[in-house]
A and B are shown apart, each in its own frame.
Chain A
Amino acid sequence: MHGWRDELELRRLQEVMRRKLTRRGFLKGAGIGAAGIGAASVLPSCGGGIGTGETDVTPADLFGGPMEDEVHFANWPVYIDKAKDPETGERYSPSLRMFEEETGVSVNYAEVIQENASFFGKLQPQLQAGQATGWDIIVMTNGWEFTALVRNGWVYPLDTTKRPNFDGNALDWAADPPFDPGAQHSMAYQSGITGMVYNADLIAPIATLDDLADPSKVPPDSVGMIKADMPDFVMINLGIDPTTSGPDGWREAADWLIKQRETGVVRQYYEQGYVDDLTAGNLAASMAWSGDVFYYQVWGGYPNLEFVFPEGGGYLWTDNMMVPAGAANPVAALALMDWFYRPDIATMLQEFIFYMSPCAGTQELILEDAAAAEEEGSKGYANKLRATAENEYLFPSDELLARCSFGRQLETDEEKEEWDSIFEPISEG
């Protein structure tokens, strides 16, 4: 009599064969079923993680098939170039349209990711149950969600032989990030620096982290802190290297944050909505993401907002493209991911998004576009492009990068719990 494991083993082999044709793929065989959530937790010991270490499934297998017809790309809002179609009047993405025209693959692009945590929370039940999520590309910032996706085998390991543009053009920090050595599971999409911002109309310039806790520099209830970034940010500025830090370092950062809180200058610990308060003038200074500030400064009509790279250092992070397990169109996904590493395409993106492109060669191309715009008579636009190209944070020098650091990679649940128990209470009432 077949035990349920044998049954599943048989089904799994059959599914592996049919993998290319069905969306469910071979995930079904990974020991899930009607057994309920509890048993459905895919522990590495139970039938192997999905897509990790499986002897019969390698990246070459996953990405070796023919190119599919469509690809489903989930991304953050305001994270791709947009233009208006002169004929239909519809907004579309030029870079994606060019991809569609060159490859014949239709792209379903959806701006459905608002936060790493909520998107992860949404995908997790499906991934855990071995179901396809419907997405072929997702974009996640490096952090615990990223780590969880990789460690649980919930994203496919990429076929590193199939990304020529990446191999040729990826900048160093994108080609081999510390949180994903060799970029085996992800490809950087955009990167940014968390620094500080101040409203020049309200206060005098600030320069160091301590200024954010100094009542003589900032009025009470006028400072914003970004919850998810602040532990690493503070550690960097206290001289602690987050990537090698331990609970002692974390406690040091926590102490600083508590002291800051006691001075009464902090208005709110934001998930991400600090921009509203900044433009409204409710905040005099804040932690900030570089791209946000530059956007409002150059394009948004708020030249009074100044980005400050703290003396102690900046916090570097990357948003990464990944292929979730169960993706129906992995080959097309990889092709699209690699597409963004063409310098001309990367330039199109960067002229729209104010963050660091992982692709080399965009600076020159932006300057070319600026010159072209000037010739056509769009001086204002040309100036803005030039400002983009000359922005030292979009094209950081090596020394600037040396003063930046990625954050602490939490590897285990115990570490994460300790981290959370130290830092979460600070932002709670």
Chain B
Amino acid sequence: MSSDGMRTRRRGAAAAIVAASLALVASGCSSSGSGSKGPAGTAASTDTTSTVIIDLTSQGCEPKPATVPAGPVSFEVANSGAGSVSEAELRTSDLAHILGEQENLTPGLSGSFSLTIQPGTYKISCPGASRQDWTFTVTGTATGPSWQSNPQLRAAVQGYAGYVKQNTADLVSHTRTFCRAINAQDMNQAKVLYPQVRVYYERIEPVAEVWGSLDTSIDGRWENPVTVRSQFTGFHRIEQMLWQDNSPNGASAMCSGLVTNEQQLLTLVSTAQYNPLEMASGAADLINEAGTSKISGEEERYSNTDLRVFAANVEASMKVVTLLQPYLQGQDSGLVPLIRQREAAVEKLLANLTATPGYDQTGYVEYTAVTKAERRQLSAAVNALAEAMSQMSARVSA
């Protein structure tokens, strides 16, 4: 049974996604306390930082002032009395989320946390006080995401935009070559080219999936999510024709339709905007994808060329790690080494499955030759890698 239902179209890069994620994420996750990890120091240096004083007493934690302009804010929290209230939190107005906090301030201690806050109403909360929740207001107009003022993150995002654009352009040109083999009825050549073309799509998948119906027409699988015969188009319909139907009938038209859709994707990708949070979570998604649809053999079910695209998923997510590495190292020096260590474990298992020239010249064995035990080892290693990668989003969100 196939076990894959992965459509990661919410993810990635479209401008709309960026906009949608700003309100909470940009304000919420850019906090840093003294000693904690977070990109607060990245706030635009040209902006004026507002300072808010909070004195913890048994009566409460009144912020002074209670209203500040949008932008970087530093909260200076002190427990100057002898009260048992030891914590101040900045929360969303519905109290559902903590955006920043300073805790464990026993009498006599003080500390601070700072973040960049978007306009709106918030609460300062101090559990245990007779009045726990105090309104805090941020005025003015929304500012741009603070990551843009960080050169390392800016470079990472630019690098990713270029990577996606290049791979999409390569996708189009390699698909054209693939279509020429199909048009010439050269089935063997088409079978060799198919996994090579797939690599480019698998590298940019978290971005492509933002445009759900386009992604489905390029990469949709039967029953996942396509359930209407006439809507089964793109790579996997052609894959079925080549390996299962063993007939190129109709493949030429299908292939030229694929190129048309890919060109549309190239146009969309050319103007897409990205942010570090979606880059990071898209990288983890790619590993999730490798761990589900490739391990199960669902995705390339007719050709059994799963290992080549599996490798492409890992490769593309590691590209994101490399791009974010300069910034991540400053935030959490242990994370990138952990990710690389776990990637090495995946690569070691993959290396056992390489072959020359390999099944359909993929460089790997046919996926059906991978034993159950090997699949489980690979799955465990991939899950461990994804788990480590999923820690990136909290580090880079700004």
A and B found bound together? no
Binding site for A on B (CB under 8 A): none
Binding site for B on A (CB under 8 A): none
